[in-house]
């Protein structure tokens, strides 16, 4: 509840009231206006605006759209709070004091058959409309934050699950490579042992130089690469 709504609940004591010398006077050409000292709460009764969802964005540029959505329109006689704002901003009243400006507006309202309570009721309806708009947008924000937070948690869980799966695959690939390397190393050891065995058997029948079985100990050295040849030169 805003300050304006709280005042309305209790009634409104007016700033512009009769002084001890009599009613507030305008300049000589203006009327004398007797202003009530306060407006009781029952004269300002305005239904609370329901908290409903709004189709308008939070960054709406003009509250006129909010008022229209809430069903708050200008009074048929045309003297609402916006009209009073225009009257107070009239250049003819610019040099006058606050109380004199208020008295001039009250005189115009009286001439139009409009009470100050009606103007304040209009202000209260607008105040409650933007209060309800704020409440709707706050609920909307809360829902969005909760939904997005839940989605962020889901995405984080998906990323963690993905990383676990990929890390497990990486470890499996590394383990498979290592196992293949160890198996190949074992193959070489067994191959060399078998070649030595075959060479020893054949050596019983042929000269060592003519033995067709090549074992690691007798295999010709690998040819030097061009880089190795160049490095050996002075």
Q: pLDDT per residue over 75-86, tens digit each?
A: 888 889 999 999
Q: Say if 176 falls within a structural domain.
A: no
DSSP letters of 112-166? Answer: TT--HHHHHHHHHHHHHHHHHHHHHHHHHHHHHHHHHHHHHHHHHHHHHHHHHHH
Domain count, the chain: 1
DSSP-derived 3-state class of residue 177: helix
Most confident among 117-126, 154-163, 196-205 (mean pLDDT): 154-163
Instruction: Look at 105 and 33; give whichever has higher pLDDT.
Output: 105
Residue 77's nearest CA partner among 122, 17, 25 is 122
Residue span of the structural domain in which 64 resides: 3-148
Residue 195 CA from chain centroid, whole number: 75
Mean pLDDT for the stretch of residues 27-47: 53
The answer to whether residues 81 and 119 touch, using CB atoms and an 8 Å cutoff, is: yes
Does residue 219 lie in a domain region?
no
**C-alpha distances in Å from residue 65, one per residue of 9, 78, 90, 94, 156:** 26, 18, 25, 30, 40
Paired tokens of 156: 């984080």
- Predicted confidence at residue 33, as pLDDT, reads 43
Residue 36 lies in a domain: yes
Instruction: Give the pLDDT mean for 53-77.
Output: 89
- Is 29 within the bounds of a domain? yes
Residue 201 lies in a domain: no
pLDDT of 224: 61
| Residue 202 included in any domain | no
Please determine, for residue 146, whether its predicted confidence score (pLDDT) is greater than 90: yes
Judge whether 65 lies within some domain. Answer: yes
Q: Taking all residues of the chain, what is their mean pLDDT, rounded to a whole number?
A: 79
> In this predicted model, what pLDDT tens digit does every residue of 168-223 receive, in sequence order?
999 999 999 999 999 999 999 999 999 999 989 999 998 888 888 887 765 555 55
Q: Is residue 72 part of a domain?
A: yes
């Amino acid at each position: 509840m805003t300050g304006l709504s709280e005042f309305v609940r209790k009634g409104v004591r007016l700033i512009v009231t009769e002084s001890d010398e009599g009613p507030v006077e305008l300049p000589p050409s203006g009327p004398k206006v007797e202003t009530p000292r306060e407006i009781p709460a029952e004269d300002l009764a305005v239904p609370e605006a329901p908290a409903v969802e709004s189709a308008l964005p939070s960054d709406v540029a003009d509250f006129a759209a909010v008022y229209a959505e809430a069903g708050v329109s200008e009074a048929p006689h045309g003297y609402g709070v916006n009209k009073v704002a225009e009257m107070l901003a009239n250049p003819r009243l610019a040099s006058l004091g606050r109380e004199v400006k208020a008295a001039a507006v009250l005189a115009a309202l009286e001439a139009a058959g409009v009470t100050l309570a009606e103007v304040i009721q209009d202000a209260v309806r607008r105040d409650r409309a933007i209060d309800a708009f704020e409440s709707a947008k706050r609920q909307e924000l809360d829902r969005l934050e909760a939904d997005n937070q839940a989605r962020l948690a889901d995405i984080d869980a998906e990323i963690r699950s993905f990383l676990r799966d990929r890390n497990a695959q990486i470890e499996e690939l590394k383990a498979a490579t290592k196992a293949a390397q160890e198996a190949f190393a074992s193959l070489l050891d067994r191959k060399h042992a078998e070649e030595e065995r075959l060479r020893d058997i054949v050596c019983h029948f042929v000269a060592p130089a003519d033995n067709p079985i090549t074992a690691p100990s007798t295999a010709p050295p690998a040819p030097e690469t061009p880089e190795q040849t160049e490095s050996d030169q002075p």
